[in-house]
Structure 1
Amino acid sequence: MSKKWLIAVTGTFTHLLLGTVYAWSFFQTPITRFAGWNNAQTAWAFSLSIFMLGVTSAWAGNKMSVYGPRRLSMIGGALYALGYLISGFALARQSLFLLYFGFGIIGGIGLGLAYVTPVATVSAWFTQKQGLATGMVVMGFGFGALVMSKLLAPLFLKLSDGNLSTTFYYVGAVMIVLIPALASFLQLPKNDKPQETIKEKIPIARYIKTKPFVTVWLIFMINIVAGMIFISFQSPLLQDMLKIRMPAGTDFSDAGVVASLAAAGATLIAASSIFNGLGRFVWGSISDKIGRMPTFRILLALQTVIFGLLIFVRHPVVFSVLVCIVLLCYGGGFGVLPSLTKEMYGSKLMPSLYGALLTAWSVGGIVGPQVVAFMKDNYADKAGLYAFVVGGGLLIVGLALSLEYKDPREAG
């Protein structure tokens, strides 16, 4: 195996472990029931994590030439693991503040440090087939929810007799060993060594203020919101739909019923994570052929139609299929963005401006989950309907922006 492919593979597995954060909806309902917090309070742990991921990614992308990808990713992996360990303690004490601090702040910072560096590193190694290479790496992040919902979480819950706190301890122990080990393989090509640019300040501020950058940021943020509506709450939304179809008088507190609903939710999380992962690879490859922004237009148009359909869908299977397609498009945004950034600004500016664009992930990570959480806490029977209306409206705006987009290379 050549060196660049070794780095691509280890970067993919690094992302696979980081992507376990996307299984949050697996824990949303159990944590809410265990601690007595409402949906919005519990979901803020996930929202904070994604917010810190985006903000820290912006910083890490700008500092990769100074500290190097290996150091940033290894530290990030350790912090992500520490976030799980603190969260385990928070659940044992039923401390919402500690859950926010551990999973949200510390874990989110770790995610940000470790997320952007493998993508930017692989982008530097692959001068051709950018969408394919970076799409493969971020595909790993999409598959992370599958690993958590069908492997790690069920295994550790079984080992701990259903103890959520101990389960988080186990997950943290796995992460603190594996992620730094995988991240240790990351390094830039010789012509991109950190010491060659360590004293050079990259002037990204003037690019961030331009219309093309702002347009891409908004398009990406809207694509994030659409996906986050389901990543954060797909299991509870599916379970609500299944409850409606159960016989009248069903005891929803019965252990067997709870386990059955949880298993259905976990299956959807696993299935949608496969589509999330494949979307990053497939759409990244497609964008190599038809162009980056044309691909974004297809993603936004397809999701606009799906959100319109979701307003009327009441069947769990149809709902699940549509969720998987939305996650396919959600993942596609991550598969296309690195190559789009590099084409817009060149390889030298790519890490910094790619990190800056990931701040859209921060905003989307708050808006998407909190929209659904608010609806579930205040309009339980119509939570999904109202969330789909909001998401569909935003997607229409995103599609309009994509049609108005002008490539800065052509504009210049």
Structure 2
Amino acid sequence: MAVPSFLARERIVARPGFNRWLIPPAALAVHLCIGQAYATSVYKTALVEHFDTSLTAIGIIFSIAIVMLGLSAALFGTWVDRNGPRAAMFTSAVFWVSGFLVGSLGIATEQLWLLYLGYGVLGGIGLGIGYISPVSTLIKWFPDRPGLATGMAIMGFGGGALIASPLSRQLMSFYDPDYVPTDAASVASGDAVAKLFLTLGVLYLLFMMFGAFLVRVPAADWRPEGFDPSTVKKKALVTTENVSANNAVRTPQFWLLWIVLFCNVTAGIGILEQASPMIQDFFRTGDGSLVAASAAAGFVGVLSLFNMGGRFIWSTTSDYIGRKPIYMVYLGVGIVLYLVLATLGSSATWIFVITAALIISFYGGGFATVPAYLRDLFGTFQVGAIHGRLLTAWAAAGVAGPLIINGVLDARGTPGQLVAGDYRPALFIMVGLLAVGFVANLLVKPVAAKWHESADAVEEFTHEHHTPERSAAR
């Protein structure tokens, strides 16, 4: 599928002297916007009352968006690699913003199916394309620090809720004077949420377009000053060869990483999905009282910080200790943390908060490290497309995680009357999942030479999209 000339890859080849540190802000401009997906709980109750439906019916919107994220990332990954980050970021912005506009119309007209179509389907496509749009570009700009590069960008997705949550509350209070954002019992009107969607759509369009028109790709022969590509051969599991996206999915390494990501994400989503009620249920007293709603909201904020920080800190750490060892930490230490949460989590608030925060930091770190892991195993040739196909694991986890924890809690009692013990079966299931992921990670080995692309095939692809004549047209 061709793109307009102003979006074409050859128009954004960086001139000599371009500062590569401008690329992470361009990526962040997109990821901070699409990271709003983690802030849907802010207006979930308002939508339940507006549509007079159940939490499950509203929660499906988020599940649709995550499924579409995985599917669109898989389907359009090769297109993103071929046409470059500007075309991908631009396309992502169009779909993401359209999702808000159609969703706003659905809320205003009380047509829930339009919200499914808008935020769920259209917005989910924007999520998928936007999520993978800067990945291969960042890795090519930072071949010396791929974990740092992807961590800088992908931490924006984890931190998007830190901006979107308070901003959404303030905007809803502006559109609905009766709504008090500091009162957990206060619920905004449907009209306020509809106007919120319109406002966010306009704001996100501006920021995402800024990122799209700032981003550049390096020239084919560019290298960071002082970087010697031959040094990567000295590191275990790191290849200087290249594997195409079509061949990557035929290797056992791809499917082992799919299992690793699925297990890590499913376990993390279990806590994120229930964060606010979970801390209240864990510390519910005999008379039915629980921790203050403000404390629960603060806990959600702490998780967002650790989700964002883990994406940067742990992925950067992986540049020094390696991708396979860092996933042994995510999964192995994660098992211990889940056991602590299940058995000791209700004994003290500080134990609960620290344990959950570390688990979520591993959840975020897993997302940020996996592009660099893929680059190590499959090379840079079509790493964006391979990453897109791997994100189908996220789509599956986005359904499995909530189903596991909600299914267990539904069988254990009534929301608002649950206690810490009711969560233990779900937490032990997460321990089992992390154990499966740990074993899968241990089995990862270097990719066999039979899957490597020939130098001629890579050169042909490169010349097709980076000829000097076409690059000169920028």
TM-score class, shorter: 0.7 to 0.9
Q: Following TM superposition, by how much is the alpha carbon of 1:25 offset from its aligned partner in structure 2, in angstroms?
A: 3.3
Task: Give secondary structure in 2 for the equivalent of 1:311.
Answer: helix
1:329 aligns with 2:362: yes
CA gap 1:100/1:246 in 2 versus in 1, 3 angstroms: farther
- Per-residue CA deviation, residues 57-96 of structure 1 (Å, 9 max, x unaligned), is 1233211243221111112123212222322333344443
Residue type of the alignment partner of 1:398: G
Q: Which of 409, 426, 430 in structure 2 is aligned with 1:391?
A: 430
1:407 aligns with 2:407: no
Q: Which of 238, 245, 255 in structure 1 is aligned with 2:279?
A: 238
Cα distance in 1 for residues equivalent to 2:214 and 2:44: 34
**Paired residues of 2:29 and 2:207 also in contact (CA < 8 A):** no
> Could you tell me which residue of structure 2 aligns to residue 198 of structure 1?
none
Deviates more, 1:46-55 or 1:87-96: 87-96
- Per-residue CA deviation, residues 149-172 of structure 1 (Å, 9 max, x unaligned), is 2x3122112112223333223222
Task: Give secondary structure in 1 for the equivalent of 2:381.
Answer: coil
**Paired residues of 1:25 and 1:234 also in contact (CA < 8 A):** no
Residue type of the alignment partner of 1:206: N
Q: Which of 15, 20, 33 in structure 1 is aligned with 2:36?
A: 20
Cα distance in 1 for residues equivalent to 2:199 and 2:308: 25
Task: Give secondary structure in 1 for the equivalent of 2:139.
Answer: helix
> Could you tell me which residue of structure 2 aligns to residue 128 of structure 1?
144
> Could you tell me which residue of structure 2 aligns to residue 199 of structure 1?
none
- Per-residue CA deviation, residues 314-353 of structure 1 (Å, 9 max, x unaligned), is 2554333222111100111122111111111111121221
Deviates more, 1:105-114 or 1:16-25: 16-25
> Could you tell me which residue of structure 2 aligns to residue 197 of structure 1?
none
For 1:7-406, list aligned pairs within 5 A: 7-149=23-165, 151-161=166-176, 162-163=188-189, 164-191=193-220, 203-241=244-282, 244-245=284-285, 247-248=287-288, 261=293, 263-312=294-343, 313-314=345-346, 315-379=348-412, 380=414, 381=418, 384-406=423-445
CA gap 1:265/1:292 in 2 versus in 1, 3 angstroms: same
Task: Give secondary structure in 1 for the equivalent of 2:206.
Answer: helix
Cα distance in 1 for residues equivalent to 2:151 and 2:78: 21
**Paired residues of 1:53 and 1:108 also in contact (CA < 8 A):** yes
> Could you tell me which residue of structure 1 aligns to residue 231 of structure 2?
none
Task: Give secondary structure in 1 for the equivalent of 2:133.
Answer: helix
Residue type of the alignment partner of 1:296: Y
Q: Following TM superposition, by how much is the alpha carbon of 1:109 offset from its aligned partner in structure 2, in angstroms?
A: 0.3
Task: Give secondary structure in 2 for the equivalent of 1:174.
Answer: helix
CA gap 1:31/1:79 in 2 versus in 1, 3 angstroms: same
**What is the TM-score with the length of structure 1 in the denominator?**
0.87
Cα distance in 2 for residues equivalent to 1:46 and 1:192: 42
**Paired residues of 1:25 and 1:235 also in contact (CA < 8 A):** no
Residue type of the alignment partner of 1:152: L
Task: Give secondary structure in 1 for the equivalent of 2:398.
Answer: helix
Task: Give secondary structure in 2 for the equivalent of 1:53.
Answer: helix
Bigger-Rg structure (1/2): 2
Task: Give secondary structure in 2 for the equivalent of 1:190.
Answer: coil
Cα distance in 2 for residues equivalent to 1:410 and 1:223: 29
Task: Give secondary structure in 1 for the equivalent of 2:214.
Answer: coil
CA gap 1:367/1:63 in 2 versus in 1, 3 angstroms: same
Q: Following TM superposition, by how much is the alpha carbon of 1:409 offset from its aligned partner in structure 2, in angstroms?
A: 5.5
Q: Following TM superposition, by how much is the alpha carbon of 1:225 offset from its aligned partner in structure 2, in angstroms?
A: 0.7
What 5-or-longer segments of structure 1 have no aligned partner?
194-201
Cα distance in 2 for residues equivalent to 1:267 and 1:94: 32
**Paired residues of 2:81 and 2:385 also in contact (CA < 8 A):** no
Task: Give secondary structure in 2 for the equivalent of 1:188.
Answer: coil
**Paired residues of 1:60 and 1:117 also in contact (CA < 8 A):** no
Q: Following TM superposition, by how much is the alpha carbon of 1:411 offset from its aligned partner in structure 2, in angstroms?
A: 10
Give the number of equivalent residue pairs: 393
RMSD: 2.6
Q: Following TM superposition, by how much is the alpha carbon of 1:276 offset from its aligned partner in structure 2, in angstroms?
A: 1.0
Cα distance in 1 for residues equivalent to 2:322 and 2:373: 9
Deviates more, 1:28-37 or 1:302-311: 28-37
**What is the TM-score with the length of structure 2 in the denominator?**
0.76
Cα distance in 2 for residues equivalent to 1:275 and 1:369: 20
Q: Following TM superposition, by how much is the alpha carbon of 1:31 offset from its aligned partner in structure 2, in angstroms?
A: 3.3
Residue type of the alignment partner of 2:318: S
- Per-residue CA deviation, residues 254-281 of structure 1 (Å, 9 max, x unaligned), is xxx9xx62x4343222211111111111
Q: Following TM superposition, by how much is the alpha carbon of 1:383 offset from its aligned partner in structure 2, in angstroms?
A: 5.4
